[in-house]
Each structure stands twice: as C-alpha cells, then as structure tokens.
Amino acid sequence: MKFRYYPETDSLYIEFSENPSSDSEEIAPNVVLDFDGDRNLVGIDIDHASRIINLARLEMESLPLHSIVLNNPQPNAVPTS
C-alpha cells in the first residue's frame, strides 16, 4: 500500500494495487474509488485532501507490517506519539 500526496493539486492517492484502473466511482464529494478490470479496489483518490483529513499525522494500529518505507520525508516533520 502506498500513500502519495500531490501538493500542487492538494490530492492524496492511496494505492492498494499496482493493477491499472479501468473504472472509477465517486462515493462522496472529492472521494473517488478506482477499480481494476475485475472490479477489485486498486486505489482511493481524495481531492482537496487537506480540507478533509489531517495530513500532518499518520497513525497505524495492529497492522502486520514487515517494513515501513518513507520516501522524501519532510525535513521539519517531528515524530509524535
């Protein structure tokens, strides 16, 4: 799973699969689900993300993670607990 934020458009894309999207469905204003050819969910696109969610904090609980990869971390980000 990958989280990608695009500051120039204030959009957040959560990618669940690398399969190409073949269909999309807007489920709420500014929230679009992307599906592959078999109708499996491949991603969620959130436009105007900073108006909808707190982008400064990511919290995870009870996920069976083997690794966490941070690409291009913000230099002023401060870890919080």
pLDDT in tens, 28-74: 999 999 999 999 999 999 999 999 999 988 888 888 888 888 887 66
- Whole-model pTM? 0.80
pLDDT at position 57: 86
pLDDT at position 75: 60
CA angle, residues 16, 80, 17, in degrees to nearest 5? 5
What residues have CB less than 8 Å from 7, skipping those under 6 apart? none
- Written as one letter, the residue type at 7 is P
pLDDT at position 81: 46
Task: Report the side by side order of strands in the sheet with 2-6.
Answer: 2-6, 11-15, 41-46, 31-35, 23-28
